[in-house]
């Protein structure tokens, strides 16, 4: 079976699927709903990450912080 035949077989099988959970998993696997991050947004997130990494402020461990809730 060549690649085109295999692709057609897969498409045919997907057309038969009525299970929404399964279709959502296929969607996730194929990254169909993945939105590209704009460069300006990536820059903001990178700056925030750099600020966090360079901050000398002592952070609380999450387990310790939960005890104070």
d(CA 28, CA 2): 26
d(CA 18, CA 48): 43
**pLDDT at residue 8 is higher than 90:** yes
Alpha-carbon torsion, ordered 54, 58, 62, 67, to 10 deg: -160
Cα 55 to chain center, whole Å?
Answer: 27
pLDDT at 67: 86
Confidence band of 2 (pLDDT split at 50, 70, 90): very high
Q: Are the beta carbons of 23 and 17 closer than 8 angstroms?
A: yes
């Amino acid at each position: 079976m060549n690649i085109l035949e295999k692709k057609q077989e897969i498409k045919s099988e997907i057309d038969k699927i009525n299970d929404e959970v399964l279709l959502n998993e296929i969607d996730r696997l194929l990254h169909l709903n993945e939105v590209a991050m704009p460069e300006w947004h990536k820059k903001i997130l990178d700056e925030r990450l750099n600020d966090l990494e360079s901050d000398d402020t002592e952070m609380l461990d999450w387990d310790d912080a939960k005890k104070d809730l």
